[in-house]
Structure 1
Amino acid sequence: MDEECRNCPALCETRTQVVHGYGDVSADFLFVGERPTASADELGVPFASPEPSSDDDGADARSGTSLRRMLERLGLCDSTSPAEEPVLENVYLTNLTRCRDPDRRPTDEEIGNCDPYLTAEIRMINPEILIPVGERALRELGMEYTTTPAGELSLPADHATRIRGRGFELVPMVEPRDQSDGQTQAWLEAFVDLMASDYRQTKGQRDR
C-alpha cells in the first residue's frame, strides 16, 4: 500500500494523507465506503468521525449516528479505544478511494485508479461478508461481486438486506450519517441475526 500514491494528481493537492484500510486482517466483515471522511483524512483511519458525530461535509446529521457507534453496539469495536487507533474485532474498514477532496465526490477515473488497492485488500482479508456503505459502494461492489444487474441494486431499498453473490454475501447500508433511527435499528438487528447465523457457509453461492 503506497503511502505517497500520486495516481490522482487532483486529490494529491487536497488530501492530508492517503487513507488505506484499517482493522482486523483476519476479519469476516469488510466495510467499504466511498471516500475518506474529513476526520479520516486527518487521522488516517477509514470512517473516523468527530464526537459528537456530524456530517463532515457540512450538513447536520439526521440521527447523529456513526459507523463506530454501530460497531460498538455490535461488540465489534472497543468503546474505550482512541479514534486514531480503534480496537476492532472481526472487522476491516476501507473505501473505494484513498484520498479526499472536501468539495466533491470522487470521479469514476479516481475510483478506477484506487481499485487495485481495494482488490488487494479484499484478497488479503478474504472476508465472508462485504458491507457496502452508501450508494456508490453498493453499485461498485454489486457489479463486481454479485450476479444481480447493477440497476436492481439501490439504497435505501436494499438497506439491511442480504444479497448473495460471487464468493461473498453483501449487506448494504445507507451511510450512517444519513440514516434515520429506524434504519439504524433495522441494520443492527439484521446484522445481529447474520452474526448468529451460519454465514460462513455463504461463500461460493452464486445466486441472490
Structure 2
Amino acid sequence: MTKSTKYKLLHHLKFLKSIGYSYHEPITFISNEINGFNLPNNLELLKNSVENCYLCELSKSRKNTVFASGNINAKIMFISDFPGSLEDETGKIFVGKTGELLTKMIENVLNIKREEVYIANILKCKPINTSSLSNEANLCKSYLFKQIELVKPKIIVTLGENAYKYLTNEDVNINMLRGQTINYKDMVLIPTFHPSFLLRNPSSKKDAYVDMLKIKNQLESLN
C-alpha cells in the first residue's frame, strides 16, 4: 500500500469517526504515529509525508503545503499558526511583509541570521475559514510535534494567540501571556505577537521588542 493510499484511507477513517465511529486512541504529544501511521524519523521524509497528506479538507484547496525553513539543529524554534495566501502560492514559510518583519525581529534583536533558527506552522496548508481551526490543528500538529522531536530546540517562541492555543490546548489572551517564560515539555516557551498583528498595530512593536530581548537573554544563557 502506498503512502498516498494510506492517507486517503486515513481520511475516510476520519470521516467515519466524525459520524460516531471510534477506531484509535487519542494522539499524545510527540507521538511517533499520526492516527495509527508511523511518522518518519527524518525531516525530509516527514516533509514528503506532509506533501502527500489528505487528513483534512484543507488538502483539497491548497496549492502548496508549507513545511518549515531554517536550521534543523537550531536551539530556537518559532511556531506560527497557519500559512497565508503568499505562502500557499510559493510553498515557502513567512514571505512578504510578515516575513520581512519576522526577519528584522530575529536579526536586529537576537543578532543572529534568520537561517539559524527553525520556523514552522501548526497547520501546513492555508485555511479557507480561519475562525475555527481546532479540528484541522489537532490533526496537523502531530507533524509539528515530530518536527519538535527531531529538531530538539531548547526554546520555542509561539507567534500569536492561535499558535499558543493550538500548541498547548490553552485558550488564553496573548496580551496577558506574551513575554512570559513557560516551562513546556522540558523546553522554554515564550509567546509573543504575530508579525501580521504588529503590522496592523505598530504601537505594539515596543512590547514585542521587550519580548525579543527576553528571548535573547534565554538564548544567551544556553551558551
**TM-score (norm. length: structure 2):** 0.67
Which has the greater radius of gyration?
A: 2
3-state SS of 1:76 partner = coil
| 1:88 matches 2:136 | no
Match of 1:76 among 105, 108, 112: 112
Deviation of 1:43 (Å): 2.0
AA aligned opposite 2:183: R
Contact 2:179–2:211 (Cα < 8 Å) also in 1: yes
Q: 1:21·1:121 contact (CA, 8 Å) conserved in 2? A: no
Q: CA 1:39 to 1:71, structure 2 compared with 1: closer, same or farther past 3 Å?
A: farther
Contact 1:162–1:169, Cα closer than 8 Å, also in 2? yes
- Aligned-partner Cα distance in 1 for 2:209–2:120: 20
Correspondent of 1:158 among 164, 177, 185 = 177
Is residue 2:94 matched to residue 1:47?
yes
Q: In 2 relative to 1, CA 103–193 (structure 1 residues): closer, same or farther, beyond 3 Å?
A: closer
| Alignment partner, residue 207 of structure 2 | 186
Distance 1:196 1:159, change over 3 A: closer
Deviation at 1:190, TM superposition (A): 3.4
Quick check: 2:105–2:212 contact (8 Å CA) kept in 1? no
C-alpha distance 178-190 of structure 1, shift in aligned 2 (>3 A): closer
CA distance in 1, matches of 2:121, 2:77: 10
Does the Cα contact within 8 Å between 1:65 and 1:176 map onto a contact in 2? Answer: no
Structure 1 counterpart SS, 2:126: coil
Following TM superposition, by how much is the alpha carbon of 1:6 offset from its aligned partner in structure 2, in angstroms?
1.2
Shift of residue 29 of structure 1? 1.1
CA contact (8 A) 1:16 1:41 kept: yes
- For the pair 1:6 / 2:54, whether they are aligned, the reply is yes
On the 8 A contact 1:128/1:199 being kept in 2, the answer is no
Inter-CA distance 4–130: structure 2 relative to 1 (3 Å threshold): same
TM-score, with length taken from structure 1: 0.71
What residue ranges of structure 2 are gaps of 5+ in the alignment?
Answer: 1-45
1:195 alignment counterpart: 216
Match of 1:118 in 2: 144
Distance 2:130 2:210 in 1: 33
- Whole-Å separation in 2 of the counterparts to 1:199 and 1:123: 22
Q: Which residue of 2 aligns with 1:167?
A: 186
Pick 1 or 2: higher relative contact order, CA cutoff 8 A, min separation 6.
Answer: 1
Query: How has the CA–CA distance of structure 1 residues 128 and 171 changed in structure 2, closer, same or farther, with 3 Å as cutoff?
Result: same
Deviates more, 1:67-76 or 1:27-36: 67-76
Q: Amino acid of the residue matched to residue 222 of structure 2?
A: R
Q: CA RMSD in A?
A: 2.5
Q: Identity over the aligned pairs, expressed in percent?
A: 22
The alignment partner of 2:192 has SS state of coil
